[in-house]
Structure 1
Amino acid sequence: MTGPVLSLAPGLDPARLAPAFARFGRLHMPGVLPPDQARAVGAALAGTPWHRSMHVGGKSYDFALETLETIPAERQAALETALVEGGRAGFQYRFDAWRLSDLVEAGQRAGGPLEAVYDLLNSEAFLRFVRTLTNDPRPAYVDAQATRYRAGDFLTAHDDGVEGKNRLYAYVLNFTPAWRTDWGGLLAFHDADGHVAEAYAPTFNALNIFRVPQLHAVTQVASYAAGERLSVTGWIRER
C-alpha cells in the first residue's frame, strides 16, 4: 500500500550545522519538514490509536487504553503509587505510545503520514544528512515510535546507553501544535553537577538530535497544560 512521501525541508545544510553538533553533542533544528507535510503528520498523530506505556518497578508495560479503564480502581491506585515512588530515585516513565517500527517491520502497513515519517527516517537522504551532521559514517537505520505526553506524564533521567542496542544518536521529531515552556514536557539535558545544562521545548516541526549516551529526561507535563506533547522519537543505529 502506498502513501504520502515526505522530504526534508529545502535549505537545511548539515555541513553548516556540523560544528555546533561536534561541540555540544546535541542540536535543535526547527523547520525540518516542509510546513504542509509537518501539518499532515501532526493531524495524523492526533488520531493515533495510543497505548499507555509505563515503566514501573523495573518492568515495562503497554496497556491498550480501553484495557486500562477496566482495571479495578484499587489496582490502578497501587500502580500509580508504585510509579510515583519508583520515580523518586530510579528510572520511571509514563506516556502514550504507538510502536511505529514494530508495525511497519511486521508488514502491517496501512499507509498514511506516520508510516511516511518512518520511511523518511530510513531513507538514504536522511541517513546521509545525519552522517554529514555527525561526521560519522556508521548510521544505518532508524527506529521510531509515536509518543503523546499528557498532564502528569514524564520520563526520568537516563542516558539511552544499552549494551547490544547499537544506539548512536537519539532523536525527537516534534509535532506539538503550540506549547508554553512552563507547561513542562521539556527535553532536559543534565550536567555532571546535577543542573539542567540545556532544555528544548517541543517546538512544532523541530528535530532534536543528540549523541548517545547523554543524561537527559522529559520533565513532567503540568496539570494545567492546555495541550498534548506529540512527537515521533527513537534512535539512529548502526548494524
Structure 2
Amino acid sequence: MSGAGHPRLAGDLDPARLRPLFQRHGRLHLPGVFDPADARAIGEALAGPVPWFRSLTVHGKSYDIGLETLQAMPPERRRELDAAVQATAREGFQYLFDAWRLSDEMDAGRRQGGALAPLESLYEFLNGPVFLGFIRALTGEPRVDFCDAQATRYRPGDFLTAHDDDVEGKKRLFAYVLNFTPAWRADWGGLLAFHDADGHVAEAYVPRFNALNIFRVPQAHAVTQVASFAGGDRLSVTGWIRER
C-alpha cells in the first residue's frame, strides 16, 4: 500500500461517469475498486487472525459471542440457541455471521497493527478525503461525512434476512460492502439480493473480489444463506456512509 499504508482507488474510476448508473436504481456494483495489490493485502488480512465473534439475534436482542465461548457452550444450550436463531429467521429479521467491529476498535484507540494493519488502514482511508470525495461525486450527495465499518465472515449456513437499514437517529445515507473473497460462484449463495415491492429478487450481486457494492438507504435487501458446499468463506468489510 502507498504512502502511510492506505489503499489506493483504481486509477480508471470516474465518479461523474458512474453517477447516472447509480442514480438509476439507487445501487451499484463496482468491480476493481482498489489497486489490485492493495486489494490482495486487505483480503489476506481478512483471511488471517481476525478476532472474530459470532453475531446474531435472539428474540429481538443482538448478541456478539466470542467463538471460544460458543465452542465451550454445553451441547443442549447450543441446540437451544441454534433453534431460536432458526425460528426467528423463518418469520422475521435475523442474521448469523462472524464479525469484527472495526469502527469500535479504531474509535476507541485499540489499534493492533501487525496482520490487522491493512484493515485498520482501510478504515482510515474510508474516512479520508479521497474516498469520501469519491462517494460524494458518485452519489451527488453533499451530506456524506463519515463511514462506519465492520469486517464480516459468512461461513456455510450463515445469512442475513430481509431488512432496509433504516434506523431512526443513525443518519445512514448509503450502505456499502467491499468484497475480498478471492473466488466465488453464484450458486454458493452469499448474494447481496435486493427485493422489489412484490417480494421478488429484483437484482443480486455476487461477492466479487475487489468490488464495491453501494446502495441508497432505505432499500430492502438480504444476504442469501451460504451453501453447505461453498468453497470458502465470504469475506468483506461493510457498513454505512452517514451524515453527522
Q: Same fold (TM over 0.5)?
A: yes
Aligned counterpart for 1:151 among listed residues 156, 164, 168: 156
The structural deviation recorded for 1:24 is 0.6
Question: Aligned partners of 2:137, 2:78: CA distance in 1, in Å?
Answer: 47
The gaps in structure 2 that reach 5 residues or longer are none
Aligned to 2:53: 51
Aligned counterpart for 2:222 among listed residues 217, 226, 229: 217
Which amino acid counterpart does residue 68 of structure 1 have in structure 2?
A: L
Aligned to 2:167: 162
Aligned to 1:6: 7
TM-score between the two structures when normalised by the length of structure 1: 0.98
Matched residue SS, 1:76: helix
Question: Aligned partners of 1:55, 1:15: CA distance in 2, in Å?
Answer: 40
Could you tell me whether the CA contact under 8 Å between 1:173 and 1:208 is conserved in 2? yes
Aligned-pair identity in percent equals 68
Aligned to 1:139: 144
Aligned counterpart for 1:118 among listed residues 123, 128, 141: 123
Question: Aligned partners of 2:59, 2:187: CA distance in 1, in Å?
Answer: 29
Aligned to 1:27: 28
The structural deviation recorded for 1:3 is 5.9
Could you tell me whether the CA contact under 8 Å between 1:176 and 1:229 is conserved in 2? yes
Aligned counterpart for 2:199 among listed residues 194, 197, 217: 194
Matched residue SS, 1:88: helix
Question: Aligned partners of 2:58, 2:226: CA distance in 1, in Å?
Answer: 18
The structural deviation recorded for 1:57 is 1.2
The structural deviation recorded for 1:5 is 1.6
Which amino acid counterpart does residue 14 of structure 2 have in structure 1?
A: D
Could you tell me whether the CA contact under 8 Å between 1:3 and 1:113 is conserved in 2? no
Question: Aligned partners of 2:206, 2:221: CA distance in 1, in Å?
Answer: 13
Matched residue SS, 1:102: helix
Question: Aligned partners of 1:89, 1:189: CA distance in 2, in Å?
Answer: 18
C-alpha RMSD of matched pairs (Å): 1.0
Question: Aligned partners of 1:13, 1:208: CA distance in 2, in Å?
Answer: 16
Aligned to 2:19: 18
Question: Aligned partners of 2:89, 2:58: CA distance in 1, in Å?
Answer: 9
The gaps in structure 1 that reach 5 residues or longer are none
Of stretches 159-168 and 4-13 in structure 1, the one that deviates more from structure 2 is 4-13
Question: Aligned partners of 1:57, 1:3: CA distance in 2, in Å?
Answer: 44
Aligned counterpart for 1:178 among listed residues 176, 183, 186: 183
Q: Once the two structures are superposed, what CA deviation does each residue of 1:31-73 show, in whole Å capped at 9, x if it has no partner?
A: 0000000000000001112111111210111111111111111
Aligned to 1:63: 65
TM-score between the two structures when normalised by the length of structure 2: 0.96
Aligned to 2:95: 93
Of stretches 114-123 and 145-154 in structure 1, the one that deviates more from structure 2 is 114-123
Question: Aligned partners of 2:243, 2:8: CA distance in 1, in Å?
Answer: 22
Aligned to 2:37: 36
Of stretches 2-11 and 46-55 in structure 1, the one that deviates more from structure 2 is 2-11
Question: Aligned partners of 1:3, 1:95: CA distance in 2, in Å?
Answer: 32
Of stretches 64-73 and 200-209 in structure 1, the one that deviates more from structure 2 is 64-73
Question: Aligned partners of 1:75, 1:19: CA distance in 2, in Å?
Answer: 51
Aligned length: 238
Question: Aligned partners of 2:6, 2:199: CA distance in 1, in Å?
Answer: 42
Matched residue SS, 2:91: coil
The structural deviation recorded for 1:110 is 2.3
Of stretches 133-142 and 47-56 in structure 1, the one that deviates more from structure 2 is 47-56
